[in-house]
A and B are shown apart, each in its own frame.
Chain A
Amino acid sequence: MAKFIQSLANGLNLGSIYALTALGYTMVYGIIRMINFAHGDFIMVGGFTLFYMIPVMTKIGLPAWFSVFAAIIVCVFVGVATEQIAYKPVRGQGSTTALITALGMSLVLENGALVLFGSAPRNVPPMFDLPLLKFGEITIPPQTVLTLAIGIVAMILLTLFVRYTKLGKAMRAVPEDKIASTLVGINVNRIITITFAIGSGLAAVASMMYTTSYVSIKNELGITLGLKAFVAAVLGGIGSVPGAMAGGLLLGIIEIMVKVYMLPGTYEAVTYLILILVLLIRPSGLMGKAVSEKV
């Protein structure tokens, strides 16, 4: 039983990282119907920013976790730059062009990091000094509580934002009908840029959660994390904010459970198998809306 609860806690920890990453995917997909392959690499960028900023922060006497603000700034910058330089020119040229461009940007970031930082993994210094939570035999790492809390807060804020603010309404209007939203005075390009900024900011937060839990970062971190977060987004129903959260947590728990109770090496295969099954059986995911094809 203790082992089970321990695994559950670990699963939630991993799951909330996936969830926060999946939120970024879902935001972008929800608005421009494009898989932003580079999203995972934004997290890698955030991780490297943290790696370089934490020593600076401690040197000037600020708490180490302040460096997450630096990471947010860098990630938002990279995200918006990616959108402006690469995605904006190809918008309207069809989904295949967008897909290839996104893949290309992912490769640019990944290999740019390889050139800049090398391929050796780096260890990010700890940002928080929290005590271990002990309940009898079960030790819950403090970052589990932290990541879960941040994830849930982010999800609630995002849901409220999308549902009740004017900007959020505009965000929902753009994917419904681009021309009509332009007619009612929505600046579509600006909305898309803001969406990218929010998504990349979330990626920076996700990178903080990732580095507190897993410490080691390298330039290839974005690919696997990105792919798995995408699985989570699809599992929850792509385009749905609560769906991304639920999908992420579920995927994290499943991975850890497979790792602990079944063959440890195969958990990745299980993740991708889930993706295939979801896409074949219920492509709209757990919480997504089914969209019928227009003829």
Chain B
Amino acid sequence: MPGKMKRNYGICFAAVILGFLLLCLLFDTSLLGKKAVYFNGLIVIGMFYTIIVCSLNLLTGYMGEFSLGHAGFMSIGAYLSAIVTTLIKDNMELPSLVLFLIAILVGGIAAGIVGILVGIPALRLSGDYLCIVTVAVAEIVRVVLSNFGIPAITGSATFGKSFAGIAKVSDFHYVYFTMVICIFIMYCYIRSGYGRALISIREDRIAAAASGINVTKTKVLTFTISAFFAGVAGAIYAHYITTLVPTYFNFSKSAEFLAIVILGGSGSMMGSIVVAPILSALPQLISYVVPAFASYRMLIYAVILVAVMIFKPTGLFGGREFSLPNFLDRMLGKNKKEKG
């Protein structure tokens, strides 16, 4: 029913705008006072986590394969976008929006290219072995970044093992819409023919291949898209935090992303969208109040992760999607008529 679809899109669009206005109200006015800068940062971190966790969920939930190397793709996006924007920044004046768009595109494309290069040979493997290969790729990226300093190309930024002085253009207004667009694209991808082919591969690879689906192509495409969005998240991170250190993108970071995907429910975009900002911002908020909490953070995640695996392996949302229009219908009691 196109009419209903139009209405549903309308509701989602309205919700997105409403969310944006709410954030603007919080941060662009002096409602929060001096703490606004701090909370602003938390929101940006929450949003880039959401993008990378959703991109990982694309692999974990819909392709049924694990990547423990997403921090590697993220670091590629972060470093390359930072190099490009630093070069541009020194040579010409550009509005920050343009610089931001260039950054996320460069970051995404760079990570995507690496995704293709890794995906074509590696996706012949599956399960544990593929997972280990992604770890290996991320570790190689990290070792390379921490050993070969980027040569000093420009005057304004200090290059080398750590990379400082990146333009701070990840403003939450831009990041918010980037996040919405990224999620929208991923959502469309899952709903498309490719996405359905992907889910059929997850369910039964051999049956999918027998019914004419090009398994390798679909897998590589998904892997590339996932890497692309990881790169976008990396670019956002780089242009928010402004100083990159290779050790940030280590194995633990990848494990953290995977943990968030699993906790939210692999195969549920909504699970990632809800859980990622909470799990990235909440620990920081708590350690803001109780400083000792910082060292307990990963322990608590890990215990929850194991407990979820034992008691509810499907995660919080368990592969279900939450639909705002249907939720509204149910709240207003309209759903019964539609079903009949």
Contact = CB atoms under 8 A, between A and B. Distances in A.
A266 B135 CA distance: 16
Given A101-B310, A230-B132, A263 B295 contact: no
B298 A107 contact: yes
Nearest to B297: A111
B143 A96 contact: no
Interface in A102-125: 103-105, 107-108, 110-112, 114-115, 119
Given A269-B143, A295-B206, A114 B295 contact: yes
A276 B251 contact: no
A183 B298 CA distance: 43
Interface residues of B, number: 41
A176 interface: no
Given A35-B128, A93-B313, A265-B146, A100 B305 contact: yes
A34 B131 CA distance: 12
A188 B269 CA distance: 39
A90 B255 contact: no
A107 B301 contact: yes
B124 interface: yes
A86 B309 CA distance: 9
A227 interface: yes
B147 interface: yes
Interface string A259-295: 0000101101100110110011001000000000001
Contact of A104 (B125, B143, B206, B259): B259
Interface string A5-36: 00000000000000000000000000000110
B136 A90 contact: no
B252 interface: yes
B12 interface: no
Contacts of B66: 96, 99-100
Contacts of B146: 265
A185 interface: no
A268 B122 contact: no
Given A101-B306, A104-B306, A107-B301, A269 B129 contact: no
B296 interface: yes
Given A107-B298, A114-B295, A234 B132 contact: yes
B19 interface: no
B303 interface: yes
B116 to A, nearest CB: 15
Contacts of A35: 128, 132
Contacts of B88: none
A275 B132 contact: yes
B306 A86 contact: yes
Contacts of A112: 299
A90 B313 contact: yes
Given A96-B127, A112-B299, A272 B258 contact: no
B167 to A, nearest CB: 29
Interface string B244-262: 0000000110010011001
B303 A108 contact: yes
* Of B68, B132, B295, B301, most A-chain CB atoms within 10 Å: B132
A89 B310 contact: yes
Nearest to B251: A223
B137 interface: yes
A295 B206 CA distance: 8
A95 interface: yes
B139 interface: yes
Given A90-B310, A97-B313, A115-B295, A227 B135 contact: yes
Give the size range of A's interface with the partner: 35 or more
A96 B314 CA distance: 11
A21 to B, nearest CB: 15
A107 B131 CA distance: 16
Given A103-B258, A279-B133, A269 B139 contact: yes
B144 interface: yes
A280 B206 contact: no
B282 interface: no
Interface in B124-158: 124-125, 127-129, 131-133, 135-137, 139-140, 143-144, 146-147
* Of A234, A265, A275, most B-chain CB atoms within 10 Å: A275
Contacts of B193: none
A114 B63 CA distance: 34
Contacts of A230: 132
Contact of A100 (B125, B139, B258): B258
Contacts of B296: 111, 115
Interface string A229-268: 0110010000000000000000000000000000101101
Interface of A: 34-35, 86, 89-90, 93, 95-97, 99-101, 103-105, 107-108, 110-112, 114-115, 119, 223, 227, 230-231, 234, 263, 265-266, 268-269, 272-273, 275-276, 279-280, 283, 295
Given A86-B309, A90-B309, 19 more contacts: A34-B128, A97-B309, A99-B131, A100-B262, A103-B255, A107-B301, A107-B302, A107-B305, A110-B302, A114-B299, A227-B135, A227-B251, A268-B139, A269-B144, A276-B122, A279-B129, A280-B121, A283-B125, A295-B206
Interface of B: 64, 66, 68, 121-122, 124-125, 127-129, 131-133, 135-137, 139-140, 143-144, 146-147, 206, 251-252, 255, 258-259, 262, 295-296, 298-299, 301-303, 305-306, 309-310, 313
10 cross-chain pairs, A with B, having the tightest CB-CB distances, nearest first: A107-B302, A265-B147, A272-B136, A111-B299, A104-B305, A104-B306, A269-B143, A108-B302, A111-B298, A101-B309
17 contacts: A86-B310, A97-B313, A99-B131, A103-B68, A107-B252, A107-B298, A111-B302, A114-B299, A223-B251, A231-B136, A234-B132, A263-B147, A266-B144, A269-B139, A269-B147, A276-B137, A280-B121
